[in-house]
Structure 1
């Protein structure tokens, strides 16, 4: 899919800085180094719009990406990075909580977990946090190219059990390398935001 107009509107830490154009928003969350930047770059057909880093915990603000003046992705700080101070973790938590509590244009959440491993306690807490705010959630299991196809059913069961997965939500495997899951993620986003992008497979 080709996009002509993608803009990083603002990196915000306060509601006063949030965009006021009323466009539907999808929030993307996950632990540090789970592949959130790679997911955003793949979905938007860009190589370095969201900066990937070898240093987890780099995202420290809410980054608002406007897409074709129809939709906004909100990239939030990653969690679970041990070298982030307790004070900084609390600050990140407050930034995210304020956003979830106050943002009326928020239409759903994409939660990233690592397909190779059981979700962490932080993953479980974030999933339940999103559900507390009554948000539809798409759980995206990243780096699926790193596991064998024969392990997919086993890992799906492990992830869903650990998260206490709500059957009303959706689960999809994703790989930034092979682009598997790209189309399914976009279809979920379209269904929850009513944008009219034409989705073309990149696989």
Structure 2
């Protein structure tokens, strides 16, 4: 379990990220998917990542140091944040540069709203990750907002759609920041990734 998490730096230039001398795992998802809430839930720090009802609150690459050992990174959401095209294009260039060039990145959690049918923008982003060799896993959020059967139905529909584009769908987790669902499994997975990176088994 995560014992300590502290904010390190926010910036808009991937070149200014902290020295890539330790494992790093990024969280990304469509605007308003509940990314900041989930980061706060798994680190057990309510105000660590800034949450907002307004989509697009996260506009920078935010680094948090976990247990003095590895970095958790909160990336800007993609999708319908109400910003002008120039700003949006800037975000997208920043995110793709970070994901493709960050040499110590050993995992990317792509957050998907479990209440919705498959969204094209999520499918396209995961396909982009697969094409670019970005190591992604799926994290379905807000599972407390509807019945388990509805969640399961939406997830299976998403996986089926995804399998039209990629050979094999990534591993996935079902979470609720509010109820703590999936928190333990996801945290264990993140810590396992860090262990593999430390042992040299992972070569991002």
Q: Same fold per TM (> 0.5)?
A: yes
Matched residue, 1:95:
94
Matched residue, 2:188:
187
Do 2:55 and 2:81's aligned partners in 1 also have CA atoms closer than 8 Å? no
Do 2:112 and 2:139's aligned partners in 1 also have CA atoms closer than 8 Å? yes
Instruction: Find the residue that maps to 2:87 and give its secondary structure.
Output: helix
Query: In the TM superposition, what are the counterparts of 1:115-194 in structure 2 within 5 Å?
Result: 115-164=114-163, 167=168, 169-194=170-195
Query: Is the counterpart of residue 24 in structure 1 residue 23 in structure 2?
Result: yes
Query: In the TM superposition, what are the counterparts of 1:75-90 in structure 2 within 5 Å?
Result: 75-90=74-89
Q: What is the TM-score with the length of structure 1 in the denominator?
A: 0.89
Q: CA deviation at 1:58?
A: 1.4
Q: CA deviation at 1:177?
A: 1.5
Unmatched segments (≥5 aa) in structure 2: 197-204
Unmatched segments (≥5 aa) in structure 1: 196-203
Given the superposition, is the C-alpha separation of residues 21 and 97 from structure 1 closer, same or farther in structure 2, using an over 3 Å criterion?
Answer: closer
Q: CA deviation at 1:82?
A: 4.8
Aligned positions, number: 195
Do 1:123 and 1:163's aligned partners in 2 also have CA atoms closer than 8 Å? no
Distance (Å, rounded) in 1 between the aligned partners of 2:20 and 2:72: 14
Q: What is the TM-score with the length of structure 2 in the denominator?
A: 0.88
Matched residue, 2:104:
105
Q: CA deviation at 1:190?
A: 1.9
